[in-house]
Amino acid sequence: MKTIGILGGGQLGRMLALAGYPLGLRFIFLEREADCPAGQVAPVVVGDYADPAALARLAERCDLATFEFENVPVEAVQRLRERVPVHPSPFALLSAQDRLHEKTLFTDLGIPTPDFVAVASFIELQSACKRLGFPAVLKTRRLGYDGKGQVVIHSAAEMEPAWRAVNGVPSLVEQFVAFRRECAILGVRAADGREAFYPLTETHHTRGILSTALAPAPHASAALDTLARDYVKRILDRLSYVGVIALELFDCGDGRLIANEIAPRVHNSGHWTQDAGVCSQFENHLRAIAGLPLGDTTPHGYCGMVNLIGDAPALERLVSIPQARVHLYGKEPRPGRKLGHVNFCLPTAADREAAMRATLAILPPR
């Protein structure tokens, strides 16, 4: 019976444990707070990622390890790796932590991505905007997720406030993409190179935070789905990746998909896989890192997910939504905080739409 060590004890870690228990796996987390979402369902080594002693305590209690948070320091993963196998690799983690590495990876692999220029000073920002034109998007190279570390610049006058907003840290300027919708695709790769892909998923964001997801993405042609799979497959193969990866894409509406970013972990855009009659992204990530065969990824219906952000209706109301499968993370309400989500898997697209609408109708205003 293997024990999996996980860096990070948030909801992704919690859901990894809940997906792994039925396989007879055990879990141990490293997190600063004992009563974190994962700590409510599994033991926790309380400590900091940067503390070698805490990492050693984790390593002693597990057979292999992974992470649930892409901003875990690469050094922590490298240190842990001296004691137990860790997947995905530090190289994969590094590629996702720095937008310049990430963009370079896309470009190298022939995956379309918005034109970009790396900037390290205000002068460079000015020259980048001149080259790329307005609107442009200024993004910090590191520590970006849920829309953090991003500013849209519409005119020359907005350059200075934008530069101040990112505290003048090393950044990228990207050309703004006029996309029709945002999508994401999840791929999973085992150590032996076998791969599986979930269908292209349509995602919607509210103030930078994922709010809803629909899978398969409505009206996505087979060609579009194949294109997305091809892109994520290139990344999996180049990184010799082991585990689940998410690729966020802009769908231009004309058959083109433009890569936005990757997340080297299970991802909010794949939470619908928990209730789709398939092997969930959480279980497939565990299978990949534990050397088990991958599971099926073709959903048994029209799937949808609604995030519960900031505040959530009473549990009584949530479980009263017909056909809803409720997932709460054991967190206290706080503005902008992901507290849980609701999944649907229904026989028609119309059923799904009605269920999502009914759910959104009872959410507190954001």
- What are the residues binding a copy of itself (CB under 8 A)? 1, 14, 18, 21-24, 26, 40-42, 275, 277, 287, 292-293, 295-296, 300-301, 315-316, 319-320, 322-323, 325-330, 340, 345
Nearer to a copy of itself among residue 141 and residue 287 (C-beta): 287
Nearer to a copy of itself among residue 18 and residue 262 (C-beta): 18
Distance CA 355, CA 147 (A): 27
Task: Assess contact for 65 and 59: CB atoms under 8 A.
Answer: yes
Nearer to a copy of itself among residue 162 and residue 342 (C-beta): 342
Residue 339: CB atoms within 10 A of its CB come to 20
Rounded to a whole number of angstroms, the minimum distance from the CB of residue 184 to a copy of itself is 22
Nearer to a copy of itself among residue 172 and residue 266 (C-beta): 266
Distance CA 172, CA 103 (A): 10
Nearer to a copy of itself among residue 81 and residue 337 (C-beta): 337
The angle at the Cα of 224, spanning 218 to 230, to the nearest 5 degrees, equals 130
Rounded to a whole number of angstroms, the minimum distance from the CB of residue 325 to a copy of itself is 8
Rounded to a whole number of angstroms, the minimum distance from the CB of residue 330 to a copy of itself is 5
Rounded to a whole number of angstroms, the minimum distance from the CB of residue 254 to a copy of itself is 35
Nearer to a copy of itself among residue 125 and residue 321 (C-beta): 321
CA proximity to 295, closest of 213, 190, 185? 190
Task: Assess contact for 214 and 201: CB atoms under 8 A.
Answer: yes
CA proximity to 185, closest of 258, 253, 287? 258
Give, for 136, the enclosing helix (H) or strand (E). strand 136-140
Task: Assess contact for 80 and 56: CB atoms under 8 A.
Answer: no
Rounded to a whole number of angstroms, the minimum distance from the CB of residue 293 to a copy of itself is 5
Rounded to a whole number of angstroms, the minimum distance from the CB of residue 29 to a copy of itself is 14
Distance CA 127, CA 124 (A): 5
